[in-house]
Amino acid sequence: MQSQKKIEVARQLSQLLIRSADLAKSFFASVSESLEVPPHLAMAILLLEEPAPMGELSQKMARDKSYITQVADQLESLGLLERVPGEDRRTKLLALTSEGKKLRLKLAEVAGNQSPIMTALNEEERALLSNLLSKILG
């Protein structure tokens, strides 16, 4: 393939990728906002199916631990989670309250059923997409 053409292919595909991810994000943002939680709090809730140490959430969200402290503070003040003692006394587990769990279910249901990924693609296409993306991620 010619060099100039290659550039265009790469650029357009990158743009498609970024726009799709933006769509997924903004879909998730609108779901969260309809449930009156900011998106990053909603994402944390979704990831806390089981109580987990803050460091673990930091990894899963790919955010600094100091930011997780702030997220946890906000969720706590909304009554959606509690910090409970962990194995060793430095560790704190983030555990959803019953209200947090309720919210998690609602969030998961809407996000699972109405996501553009679910509505636009059938099962086979989703599997295909999953493979291609995994390949990119190496």
Q: Which does 120 bind (CB under 5 to 8 A by kind): a second copy, DNA, none?
A: a second copy
Q: State the Cα–Cα distance between residues 37 and 41, nearest whole angstrom.
A: 6
122, 125, 127, 129: CA torsion to nearest 10 = -130
Q: State the Cα–Cα distance between residues 136 and 119, nearest whole angstrom.
A: 23
CB 43 within 8 A of CB 68: no
Q: Minimum Å distance from CB 104 to DNA?
A: 19
Q: For residue 84, state whether it binds DNA (rule: CB under 7 A).
A: no
Q: Minimum Å distance from CB 103 to a second copy?
A: 14
Q: Which does 65 bind (CB under 5 to 8 A by kind): DNA, a second copy, none?
A: DNA
Residues comprising the chain, all counted:
138
Distance of CA 124 to the CA centre of its chain: 23
Nearer to DNA, 61 or 110 (CB): 61
Q: Minimum Å distance from CB 16 to a second copy?
A: 4
Q: Which does 84 bind (CB under 5 to 8 A by kind): a second copy, DNA, none?
A: none
Q: Which does 70 bind (CB under 5 to 8 A by kind): DNA, a second copy, none?
A: DNA
